Amino acid sequence: MRSFTRTIAVTVAATTIAAVAACSPPEKETESSGSSAASATSAADLGGIDKLVEAAKAEGQLNVIALPPNWANYGELIKTFGDKYGIKVNSAQPDGSSQDEINAATQLKGQDGAPDVFDLGATVATANVAMFAPYKVATFADVPDNLKDANGAWVNDYGGYMSIGYDSAKVPAPTSLDDLLKPEYKGKVALNGDPTQAGAAFGGVQMAAIAKGGTVEDIKPGVDFFGQLKKAGNLLPVDPDSATIQSGQTPVVFDWDYLNASEATKLKTWKTFVPSGAVLGSYYVQAINKDAPHPAAARLWQEFLYSDEGQNLWLKGGARPVRQDAMAKAGTIDKALFDALPKVEGTPVIPTEAQNTKAKEYLSANWAKTVG
C-alpha cells in the first residue's frame, strides 16, 4: 500500500451498504441487542463498547493488510491495539497497494485469512464501496461531514498536505514555488514518480497548479510549471526515496508532508515546506470488510483508530488525524506533536474524485509533450 504511488485525496459519494454476516462462525448474539458483530452498525448494537471488546477478545485475532510499520506510525498503532486488548494482529503484505487489499478480500473471501479492514486510496475506495460494512464509531460526529459517508460505510482517517522537502545543507530554503526555478536548484528537484501513474507526483502537479493560478482540476498551470522546471535543467529524472534523499542525489522532493517530515528522523538537515496559498490536502479511507472473518475485532479496531489514543498515534507518525480540529477544541490532542507539524498558510483544498478525473485527463494528454 505504502509505495509512493498511492493517492490519498477522497470525497466519495455517500453510499448506504447493507452489512452482511461474515463467513466465519457467527458471534453469539447479545441479550441486549440481538445483533451479531457482523451486522452491528455501532457498538450500541452489541450492547455497548464493553460487549464489543468482549466479542473481539473472543475472536482473538484481527487481519490487517498493506500497513507498513513505518507508515504513519502503524507499527505502534498495531502493537498498542494488540497489547491493549490481547488480540493477535496478523499483518499481511505490508508493502501492498490499495488494489492488493481489495484483491485479497476477493480472493480470500470466506477464509480465515481474509482482510478484516481496509485503508485505501481514493480511486480504489470509490470503486469498491459495495465491499464495505457500515459502522459508526463513538466519535463519528467529530469527523467533518465531507470526510465520511453519512451511514459510516467509509470514513477518512488521516492525511496530510502536499509539500516540498529539501536538504537545508545542500540548497537554500525555498519560500515559494518559483524559487525552484532558480540556478541554485539546477539538477536538484525531484517529483515523486510519473504523475500520470503515481499519486504523490500527481498531487505535486495539482499543488503547483494552485500556486500558479489554476485549480485542482485546471491543472495546466501546474504542468506548465514543471515544463519550465525541466527546461531550466532543475528537474531530475529520478524517482526519490529515502536512499536518494540521504545520499544527496535528490535534495529537493515533492511529496506529502508527513512522508517528507519522516525523512528528518534519518537526515537532520531535511526540512519540509508547504507553499503559502497552495495547500493541497488529502486523506486515506478507512473501512470494514463486509465479509470480515473477525467482525467484532474489525469494529473494535475502528473504535481504537478514531479514539483520542489512536488519532494521537497517527499524529506521532507525522500524519494529520481526521479528528484533529475536534480534539484541539477539546484539549485532547497531543499539542507538542500537533505544533510540530509543518506549518500551512491558506485554506486547504481537498479534491473530489470528479475533479481528479478531469485533471488526469489533461495530464495524460499533455504531460509527456510538455515535460517529456
Residue 259 grid coordinates: 512522508
pLDDT number for residue 200:
87
Cβ distance 166 to 271 under 8 Å? yes
Each residue's pLDDT tens digit in the chain (372 positions)?
Answer: 444 334 333 333 222 222 222 333 333 333 333 349 999 999 999 999 999 999 999 999 999 999 989 889 999 999 999 999 999 999 999 988 899 999 999 999 999 999 999 999 877 898 899 999 999 999 999 999 989 999 999 999 999 999 999 999 999 999 999 999 999 999 999 998 899 988 889 999 999 999 999 999 999 999 999 999 999 999 999 999 999 999 999 999 999 998 898 899 899 999 999 999 999 998 999 999 999 999 999 999 999 999 999 999 999 999 999 999 999 999 999 999 999 998 899 999 999 889 999 999 999 999 999 998
What is the secondary structure of 299-322 as a DSSP string?
HHHHHHHTSHHHHHHHHHTT-EET
Q: What is the DSSP string of 180-215?
A: GGSGGGTT-EEESS-TTT-HHHHHHHHHHHHHTT--
Rounded to 10°, the helix 220-231/353-370 angle is 30
Instruction: Give the per-residue pLDDT at 18.
Output: 27
CB 282 within 8 A of CB 7: yes
SS3 34: coil
Name every residue whose Cβ is closer than 8 Å to that of residue 345 and which is 6 or more positions away in sequence.
274, 276, 277, 279
Tens-digit pLDDT profile for residues 321-370 = 999 999 999 999 999 999 999 889 999 999 988 999 999 999 999 999 99
107's CB contacts (< 8 A; 6+ apart) are none
Burial class (CB in 10 A: 0-12, 13-18, 19+), 330: exposed
**Each residue's pLDDT tens digit, 254-306:** 999 988 988 998 999 999 999 999 999 989 999 999 999 999 999 999 999 99
Q: Residue 137: its pLDDT value, please? A: 98
If 0-12 CB within 10 Å is exposed, 13-18 middle and 19+ buried, where does residue 221 land?
middle
> How many other CB atoms are there within 10 angstroms of residue 340's CB atom?
13
CA distance 204 to 193: 10
Backbone angles phi, psi at 40, to 5 degrees: -70, 130
288 pairs with which residues across the strands? 117, 133
